Amino acid sequence: CPRDGGVCPCRVSSVLNRDVKQFGKKHMFDASEETCWNSDQGTCQWVTLDFPRTVKVSQLHIQFQGGFSSRLCTLQGCRAGEELVKISDLYPEDTHAMQISFAPPRAGFQVEETVLDKLKITFENSTDFFGRIVVYHLGVLGERL
């Protein structure tokens, strides 16, 4: 969404030390390998994306910092004006490598093709003792409807 010049409102649960300039949500979408979103400590960090138009999501790309990833990510989504519903659980690896989910699902890191206006990714189980999550890249691929 943000890559094509469009505006895709995004919210995050927290930012480390409230330092949005250095660790803010915008860094997940800037395509830089040097910047990242870094949550503050605490359980169940999350990211929500409000798409400007209805989309059919088919892939999710995410790059954590090893040691600050999530063993379980819950995806929820909804159409405009509806309540969030669970789409799927993802089980990423604790690595710095780019991880890509596909539809139709494949073992481990999978997402079901879903039509929605809002997507929420909840990081349920951080590999960091303090519950921090570090994301260098977050991408949602699919098509606009």
Residue 40 lies in a domain: yes
Residue 1 lies in a domain: no
Of the candidates 109, 116, 62, the one whose C-alpha atom is nearest the C-alpha of residue 84 is 116
Give the domain range for residue 18.
10-144
Q: Output the domain CATH number for residue 103.
A: 2.60.120.260
**How crowded is the C-beta side of 78, counted as CA atoms within 13 Å?**
8
The pLDDT confidence band at residue 5, using thresholds 50, 70 and 90, is very low
Please tell me the total count of domains within the chain: 1
Residue 116 lies in a domain: yes
Residue 2 lies in a domain: no
pLDDT at 25 over 60: yes
Sole residue written with tokens 């395509």? 31
Residue 110 lies in a domain: yes
DSSP state, 65? P
Residue 33 lies in a domain: yes
What's the pLDDT tens digit per position in 104-122?
A: 555 445 567 789 999 999 9
Residue 4 lies in a domain: no
Mean pLDDT of 7-13: 84
Sole residue written with tokens 């997402």? 111
Residue 106 lies in a domain: yes
CB–CB of 28/38 below 8 Å? Answer: no
R_g (Cα) of the chain, nearest Å: 14
CB–CB of 73/121 below 8 Å? Answer: yes
